[in-house]
Amino acid sequence: MELFNPEVQAEFERVNALVVDDPFASQHTLGLRDVIRAHFLIVDFFITEQRELGGVGPKDMKLLESALYRAWVEFGGVAKWPDPFDRIATTLFGLIKDHPFHDANKRTALLSIVYLLSKHGRTPKCSKDAFEDFTVEIAEMEIMKRSRYRQLQNDEEDPEIKYISLWLRRNTREIDDREYTVTYRELRRILQRYGYVLESPNNNAIDLIQVKPRTGVVGFLVGGETRRRIAKIGYPGDTKQVSKGDIRNIRRLCELTSRHGIDSHSFYHGSDDMTSLLAEYQENLRRLANR
């Protein structure tokens, strides 16, 4: 992973090298390196913005291991949390409440869990603000004031985990990888949302251009824009339908696929997506720094 700040890069590599074995990593769970990566992405982002942090990296690797071990607990060879939402919930709770890092624990937990949801083929359907607020509710145990939580207390040994699990189940949806039929005019509208334009049609072809605001050294806008041609694609006319194969290729070229955090529901219908989880949640992460 390449970071913007050399000193953060060096510390990330040092901490990452401490992970000789990553027993918690799997297709459907977070590993130590996953959470460390999320943490240092956040650190790099905030230092680039010249914002102060109370410290960088894990306070104690044992605390991080403890938070991730929760999803693997067994009694007599039987998993305590066989339900995937329960496993995600107990991981989120552990990352927030165990405070494994010097700073940015809530921010690291939020980014890590959105990533973990994507490993399960899930993505938030609630607003990013709602996810931020829920993270704070867990940290401050405000969830105990909810009527549903009080109901769970009567029947559950770990009502906080069951409450978080139910919230995640209600507020996420399956990632959609289907391709839909659209015209080139509709495709133009979709691509513009993500900073791409179609222009200069010629001989049944058109240029696919990426347009970005021009930024300075530390990421601040300095005015103007940069334009980069991504490809020349077939173009029979605005009213013609784009073949599903061509759409698939365009999304791949523009990195607008579920692999890059944008599933088909987001791409075609404009719901909240995870173009870059950090970029998408940066305003929420900023606010969490003071909550």
pLDDT value of position 277: 59
Residues 6 or more apart in contact with residue 168 via CB below 8 angstroms: 85, 88, 89, 92, 117
The ranges of the chain with pLDDT < 70 are: 215-223, 270-280
Packing angle of the helix pair 32-48, 105-119 (nearest 10 deg): 130
Q: Where are the domains of the chain?
A: 6-175+280-288, 182-256
Chain segment 11-65, per-residue pLDDT in tens = 999 999 999 999 999 989 999 999 999 999 999 988 988 888 889 999 999 999 9
Chain segment 166-176, per-residue pLDDT in tens = 999 999 999 88
Asked whether the beta carbons of 131 and 284 are under 8 A apart, the reply is yes
Task: With H, G, I as helix, E, B as strand and everything else as coil, classify residue 29.
Answer: strand
User: Class of 182-256 per CATH?
Assistant: alpha beta
Quick one: 25 exposed, middle or buried, by C-beta within 10 A (0-12, 13-18, 19+)?
middle
Domain 6-175+280-288 sits in CATH at: 1.20.120.1870
User: Whats the size of the chain, residue-wise?
Assistant: 291
* Strand blocks (E) in the chain: 74-75, 78-79, 122-124, 172-174, 182-183, 196-202, 205-215, 221-234, 241-242
pTM: predicted TM-score of the whole model, two decimal places: 0.72
* Strand blocks (E) in 81-139: 122-124
Task: With H, G, I as helix, E, B as strand and everything else as coil, classify residue 197.
Answer: strand
Nearest to 42 by CA among 110, 92, 96, 99: 110
pLDDT value of position 181: 81
pLDDT value of position 216: 58
Nearest to 291 by CA among 149, 283, 114, 36: 283
pLDDT value of position 291: 74
Nearest to 109 by CA among 156, 52, 168: 168
**Distance (Å) of CA 56 to CA 39, 50, 103, 139:** 9, 14, 7, 20
